[in-house]
Structure formats: structure tokens, C-alpha cells
Chain A
Amino acid sequence: MNARLMLVEIRKVWAWYLAFLLVTMFYLVLKPYPLAHNDIVMSVLAAFQGAMLGWRIFHDPAGTQSFAWSRPLTRTQLFMNRWLLGLSLQVLTLLVVFALVGSGARSRFHEILAGETNPFYPACRWFDLAVLWPCAVYGLLAYQAALYLNAFAEFNWRHLGGAISGTLRRTLLSVMALCFPAALFVLIDLPPATAPRWPYGVLVAGIAVITAATTAMAVHVYRHMEVES
């Protein structure tokens, strides 16, 4: 892991990342109802953020690809550097959510805003922390799907001669990446309940397998793809 390279690479993504983070923070503060493990808006926000990170971190602007690829890092190291950067940003989002909800800032805001007239008064910050679950799971799954699909697209479409434009291709693939956690959402969480349909242990194991598999596939693509220079 090279911190300097991460600082260079983060420039590709920081404006988008901050925008998503701000929207997430506004949502958390302003939602007047309790937050839960199956909060669909939080799931969608996290999934969009994950897909955005996967897309932008693993995509080099036109003409600049060989800059990173010519530094003295193996392709696997370059991949892992970028992958860890994306994961770090997702962890940062979780920390911000945790701080906002766990510190009681959100509860305090609602108490000031509505006080005892809020039907959910008093807001229970420890109950609201369940929102970390969709934030972590759908952010991670969308990120994994996006990075794999984008790496696959770079590899495949370049060899096919660019039949579709790069922007359209990435948009389609990002939509596909979002479908992936959305399908899982239906499978896991859609029915209103106090906990997911499956035991947390099973879900975590399943997510770990998906993460490991998509990472391994993306690394494989990175090791074999051709690079502009």
C-alpha cells in the first residue's frame, strides 16, 4: 500500500465522494422516522456510492492510464492499492454514519425540531445504528460488482474494438452493478421485519464469499489487461 499514490488517486473521486457523503448525512439527520436494517433509501445511497467508487477509482481519465501503470508496482499491487482506497472511503462513510447517529447528534436534532410531538420520541440512537448494516453491505456489494464489471469491460471491449462508447458502456455496467445488490436486497431484507430474513452469520459469510470472488476475478483481469500509453 502506497499512501502517496492513494493521495494522487483520491483526487479522481473526492468531489463525488463528498457529494454522496453530504447527501447521506442530510438523509440521516432529516429522516423523521427510526432507522432500520432494511432502510431502502440508505441501501440505495450506499449502493450508488459503492458503484461510483468502483467506477471512478478503477477508471483512469483518457490518456492518463499509463501514469499509474508505469510506476514500479506490480499489477496486483496497483489493484490492491486502488481497492483499499475504495474500501477506506467506505469505512470512512461508516464512521461518519456511526458518529452522527451513535453520538446522539441525530437524536438531539429531532428533539430540538419536534420534541415530544415526534411520535417516535425519544429517538433511540442505539436502535438507529442498525442503519450501518445496509450502509456497509450494499456499499460493499455495489463497489465489488462495479470494480469487477469495469475491469472486465476495459479488458473485453478494448479487445472488441470499442463497439459502444466508453461512457455508455460504463453507465450500463454501473446499472448492472447496482442490480446486483438490489437483487440481494430482495433476497435478504425486503419484508419488513426487525432483523434480516437470514441469520447475520450466514449473510456475512455470503458477502465475504462474494467479495473474495469478485476481487479475485478483478485482479485476474487487471493482471492480463492491455493498457493505453
Chain B
Amino acid sequence: MNESVIHTEGLSRWFDKKQAVAEIVLDVPRGAIFGFLGQNGAGKTTTIRMLMGHLHPSGGAVEIFGRDPRWLSRADRQRVAYVSENMNLPRWIRPNEALALNASLYPNWDAVRARDLMNRFGLEDAGPFATFSKGQKRALCLVLALCTGAELLILDEPASGLDTAARRIFLDALLESNREKECTVFLSSHMLTDLERVVDRVAILKAGRKILDGELEELKDCARVLHLPASARRETVERHFRVASFRKAAEDVRATILDFNEDRLRALCAEDPAYGCVEMRGLNLEDLFVELVTGDLIETGGSVV
């Protein structure tokens, strides 16, 4: 098994009486591109802030490279680059100043790549950060992270505000970092179509709890929407499959299941002949996400697959 770059165990965080993150268990293997998904307010940013050591966990533990992120040494911090959801550079800073600062702080800073990305994002002649558009701000933050030569990129909503061309540049650069420099990437995003192109693994949060975690391809292989007869009962389907959502429509029932295989389907049909004419379809990441976050699956443990 691959070494975990990020590991959390029962990670929880309370804000006053509200629990923002509840007992999250995560393992991000070295070299993975890990998609961290959830609706607004699901606890993604809070989790990422704890990964960065900016927030203290109320319970559980978090480790980056096997250490508590709050107490990482300078050398270990040079192995991590971060883009926060709120683009957070000082308003007066100019791109060249920001690049020079990072070059002085990261020993593996790639100045050639930085120049190239600045050109591709159209930032080479930009003024102070405060005069940037939202997309330009995001692009500069990404250049600052992608060229650090860090082994771990933690990106919170990295593509938010980027236009289609800039998103493409970002995703290409991300894949290049991952494939050529073996960089591990942990990113949260609502751009699920983009994510589906790049991620190896995903975890989905709902109301602070992890409801799903696994290899994307396996999840997609095993997830199906079953169109069942109107008389279908949830308990019957749950005896054979793990059900993420179970919706009754006018003429049929649609059940989203996470662990499809032919043998189980045959067993379901054998139990009640009414299930014999099941129709089914696969799901892409976006469909799967919507079914999961709007369904009623509760899962706090490890991988579903």
C-alpha cells in the first residue's frame, strides 16, 4: 500500500455549538489526485484549514507527512503549497514581487515554469493584486502554488472564477505536476466535470460527515441507478445493495446503489420476480455526487469500495 501523505483519524471541529466537521477519516496516498467534494457548508474548507494547521481540531488527529501540520519544520513546509478559497495576497503586491518572494522561500521553485504559466494566464504585465479580476487573482495564486516544486498541493476551490481557457491551462499544469513531478494533489471543487478529468480518488462530505470515499473509477463502475417497479421496497433492495438514494416517482422507483454486481442483481430478481425487468444506467461523477448529497446515505467510516 502507498504511503499516506495526508492522514486524518476521527477529525472533528466544532464552532460554538455547531459541528462543522465530524469524525472524518482520510488517507491520501502519495502521488494521488484526491477530489474533496461536498455542498457549500459541508465542511471542506474547515477540513482543509485543519490540514494546513490554521485551525485546531476539536477532536481526532491530522497528519501531513506523518506530522501534526501545526508543528511542521520549515523543510516539511517547503513540501506543501496551498491555495485558499479566499484569494489572500496583500492588495498592494505585484506579481513579480510575489514570485520573487516564493522563489526565496521554496528551494525547488521553478522560475521557467512560472514565467511560462504567467504568460499563458496573461498575467505578465499585470499591476498590483488589488487591480486584478477575480480570475486573474485565482490564476496568480495557482502559479504561486504550482511552481513551488512542492510534493503536496492543497487547493481549495482552485478553479473558481477561472474562465474555460484558464481552467484548461490550470488542469494541464496540475496533471503535469502530478505526472512529471509526482506531486500529490488534494483539491476541493464544485467543478465536477473538470474534477472527473483529473482525480484518482474522491471523498464526499455531507453536513460535516464523510459519506463516501474511494477510487473514482471503481465508484463509477459500481454505482448504478436502478429503475425499479413502483411497488419496490427499500428494505428489499437494501438486503442486496448499498443504497445511496431511493426515490419514488409516478411510475417507477429509482434507487441509486453503490456496489452493483450482476450476482447481487440476480439475487434481487430471484427474491421477487417483479424486479425482473430492472433497467439501469451508470453515473458520472456529477450524477453520483448529486444522488449522494441529496439522498439519505449516512456513512462515517472508511472506503465504500
Contacts and interface: CB of A to CB of B under 8 A. Distances in A.
A77 B73 CA distance: 10
B105 interface: yes
A227 B54 contact: yes
A31 interface: no
B73 A226 contact: no
Contacts of A2: 104-105
A77 B102 CA distance: 16
A101 B101 CA distance: 37
Contacts of B106: 72
Interface of A: 2-5, 7-8, 11-12, 61, 63-67, 69-75, 77, 161, 223, 226-229
Contacts of B52: 66, 70, 229
Given A2-B105, A61-B90, A229-B86, A74 B77 contact: yes
B97 interface: yes
Contacts of A69: 54
Among B54, B102, B106, residue most surrounded by chain A Cβ atoms (within 10 Å): B54
Contacts of A65: 88
A219 to B, nearest CB: 14
Contacts of B55: 226-227
B160 to A, nearest CB: 15
| Nearest 10 Cβ contacts at the A-B interface | A72-B77, A227-B54, A72-B78, A4-B104, A229-B84, A4-B101, A70-B82, A67-B88, A229-B54, A66-B88
A12 B105 CA distance: 20
B54 A8 contact: no
A97 to B, nearest CB: 29
Interface residues of B, number: 30
Interface in B34-85: 49, 52, 54-56, 70, 72-74, 77-78, 80, 82, 84-85
B90 A11 contact: yes
A71 B141 CA distance: 12
A90 B102 CA distance: 27
A229 to B, nearest CB: 5
Contacts of A67: 88-90
B16 interface: yes
Contact of B74 (A4, A8, A74): A74
B281 interface: no
Contacts of B86: 63, 66, 229
Given A4-B101, A66-B88, A229-B49, 10 more contacts: A4-B105, A8-B93, A64-B89, A67-B88, A71-B101, A71-B102, A75-B70, A226-B54, A229-B84, A229-B86
A151 to B, nearest CB: 16
